[in-house]
Amino acid sequence: MVLKRLRKVLQGFVEKVERVVQKAAEKATTKTISEKDVDEFLQDLLMELIESDVAFETAEKLVEELRKRLVGLQVPRGADTRKILEGKVHEALVELLKTGWRHIDLVSEAKEKCRRGEPLVIVFLGVNGVGKTTTIAKFAYMFKKAGLTPVIAAADTFRAGAQEQLRLHAERVGAVFVGGRYGADPASVAYDAIQMAKSRGYCVVLVDTAGRMHTDIDLMEELRKIVRVAKPDYKVLVVDALTGNDAVEQAKFFDEAVGVDFVVLTKFDADAKGGTAISVVDAIKKPILFLGVGQRYEDLEPMEPEKLVAKLLS
């Protein structure tokens, strides 16, 4: 599906190794892959990774990791060369995507906090247009489906229409909506939502924030204030799979500004390349835990490294 051009390069390398193994078979039962054997393949691979939206630094890192795994590898005569070599590529990609990755059961965590009289608080970060509002609605749907009524805090009091969009989503999924007037203090909206959740026994608060970039100093300070006031359990960065290296820069910026706990990668169903996922994880050493794979509320999938790599290489 994605990174499919990588498979073409890999196929060429497989054929080359098979020829070398066949030639070596006249003298020995195995062939040890040399530096010379992999050089051309790794150069081609580097270019294909970059073409697939993998950041240059990440692509170089992957290539060097593969060099370590391939040079000195012994390929027996008659072995399934493709399976052996594809396995090495698969291992390297999975290892990278597992950076910081752990299974997080948000529903169980919310229930546990609720028993202590506290809601699970999640603040969502990201620039405009990445699908942040829809992602919040998907999280609300996930919690509601598990029997928990979430509170959605519309702390984006800056963008026209932001409140109305979230209010509509809240009505559709059965969430409680807390908003504020246009231009109101966003941190106060988050605070009010958390206090409501505590007083009424709601177990989850999902806080929307205004989309922003580092060029807007006032908005960035506002975001830091929201985080200070809300004291979230998780700060979730939402990035668009189609934005390539822009997503990497966004991830670095938000992580440096307020810290990111995990990433939701949206529009993954439309991503024709797949490099964004690899690059974002490598850039901030924080995991992607969910993938947005459609427009429906249920189109939110947990990210599992092994399954994702299998999809990237399919």
State pLDDT tens for residues 164-213: 999 999 999 999 999 988 888 999 999 999 999 999 999 999 999 988 76
Is 307 annotated to bind a ligand? Reply is no
* CATH 1.20.120.140, the chain: domain bounds: 4-97
**Which of 3.30.420.40, 3.40.50.300, 3.40.190.10, 3.40.50.1000 would CATH assign to domain 106-312?**
3.40.50.300
180 is known to lie in a ligand binding site: no
Residue whose entry in the numeric block shows the structure tokens 């993938």: 291
Whether residue 132 is annotated as binding a ligand: the answer is: yes
| Dihedral over alpha carbons 153, 159, 161, 166 (to 10 degrees) | -20
With beta carbons less than 8 A apart as the criterion, state whether 90 and 309 touch.
yes
Which part of the chain is CATH 3.40.50.300? 106-312
Burial class of residue 276 in the structure, from the number of CB atoms within 10 Å of its CB (0-12 exposed, 13-18 middle, 19+ buried) = buried
CA distance 293 to 229: 32
The answer to whether 5 is a known ligand-binding residue is no
Q: Is 20 annotated as a binding residue?
A: no
Per-residue model confidence (pLDDT) at position 23: 52
Correct CATH for 4-97 of 3.90.78.10, 1.20.120.140, 3.40.50.300, 3.40.50.150: 1.20.120.140
Question: C-alpha 303: how far from its chain's center?
Answer: 8
127 is in an annotated binding site: yes
pLDDT less than 70: residues of the chain: 1-30, 213-216, 271-273, 314
pLDDT, tens digit (0-9, with 9 covering 90-100), for 67-101: 898 888 887 777 777 777 778 888 888 888 888 77
User: In sequence order, which residues have a C-beta less than 8 Å from that of residue 122 and are 6 or more positions away?
Assistant: 106, 139, 204, 205, 206, 207, 232, 233, 234, 235, 236
C-beta contacts of 15-22 below 8 A and 24+ residues apart: 16/40, 16/41, 17/75, 17/81, 17/85, 18/81, 21/75, 21/77, 21/79, 21/81, 22/77
Whole-number Cα distances in Å, 2 to 11, 66, 240, 272, 303: 16, 19, 15, 5, 16
pTM over the 0.85 mark: yes
Q: Which of 213, 209, 214, 232 minimizes the C-alpha distance to 158?
A: 209
For tokens 């009524």, the residue is 149
Q: Is 254 annotated as a binding residue?
A: no
145 is in an annotated binding site: no
The answer to whether the annotation marks 208 as part of a ligand binding site is yes
Q: Categorise residue 274: left if φ over 0, alpha if ψ from -120 to 50, beta otherwise.
A: left
Q: Check whether 179 is labelled as a binding-site residue.
A: no
Q: Is residue 147 marked as binding?
A: no
